[in-house]
Amino acid sequence: MPKIAVTRWIPDDAVKLLAQAGEVAVSELDRPLTPAELHEFVAGADAVVGMLHDRLDGALADAAGPGLKVVANVAVGYDNVDVPALAGRGVVVTNTPGVLTDATADLAFGLLLAVTRRLGEGERLLRSRTPWSFHLGFLLGSGLQGKTLGIVGFGQIGRAMAKRAEAFGMSIVYTGRSKQDTDAEFVSLEELFDRSDVVSLHCPLTPETRHLIDAAALRAMKPGAYLVNTTRGPVVDEAALADALEAGGIAGAALDVFEKEPEVEPRLLGRDDVVLSPHLGSATVETRTAMAVLAARNVAAVLAGRPPLTEVKP
């Protein structure tokens, strides 16, 4: 039977599907594997189910051996995958788009509300048992009605974020690879920074988008603007973000992903104008199960000689 190597725990529904297609081995280590551990673990595998913290590249394919047919990345982004190197060795690459759109957009909008309405700051105040009383100037945040949301990357998650913002009375501007058939306004990145009260990042991590939000971009944003990042951490230069917050250049930031994950820029940790969550964008039972099941279906299809459902082309 084909050997299927799964680099970290996945839901049972996905394991059961994989077991119908081959012999499944799931890593027993509750942490990312080191490169050496990863290469040893996949040796002899016909299929690899990997996570976003795994480097899935030519070296992995060489470690697996000539029988490797498919690498399934349990994520919609695939910046951790060297697609050309794997394709050059005849390995099919798949990802898990679509199934995490609503969960990630929900989390992104939750972070937007948390930072603009100072929810984390308020909760910390209560948990610390700090004395307080209601008055009209107490913990004032920023309302959303009539404000502008700028969306960087208008794919499925970006469009879902726009729908949620429209329901709160926000105007939408966006920038991306091309203009789309939508009521939202397509603008340049420079105009988006100039007009947006909140900038929400939904672009993939590529060489072009690494540190897209740098010191210059932060200076270009409106004074009093907020930044939300639920895409990939390295899109934001966290040191530059800390500098901008310390200087009062922007009002706040909400981050679900981090430049050197799981580490966080130390200067962000103690700030009340920053909301942080540990990569929870897709973290619902339903969504994480659907992601793993889609990865398993892709593996099963390739091992059976059928086209995968969601192939990533080089």
pLDDT one digit per residue (tens) for the chain, 314 residues: 999 999 999 999 999 999 999 999 999 999 999 999 999 999 999 999 999 999 999 999 999 999 999 999 999 999 999 999 999 999 999 999 999 999 999 999 999 999 999 999 999 999 999 999 999 999 999 999 999 999 999 999 999 999 999 999 999 999 998 898 899 999 999 999 999 999 999 999 999 999 999 999 999 999 999 999 999 999 999 999 999 999 999 999 999 999 999 999 999 999 999 999 999 999 999 999 999 999 999 999 999 999 999 999 99
Phi, then psi, of 134 in degrees rounded to 5:
-65, 135
What would the two tokens of residue 21 be?
Answer: 């297609």
71 in Cβ contact with 48 (< 8 Å): yes
Helix (H) or strand (E) holding 180: none
Domains of the chain are 3-99+285-303 (3.40.50.720), 101-276 (3.40.50.720)
229 in Cβ contact with 258 (< 8 Å): no
Active site residues: 232, 261, 279
Backbone Cα Rg of the chain: 21
Using CA atoms, how far apart are residues 250 and 2, in angstroms rounded to an integer?
53
- Residue 141 CB: number of other CB atoms within 10 A? 16
State whether the Cα torsion 274-277-280-285 is positive or negative: negative
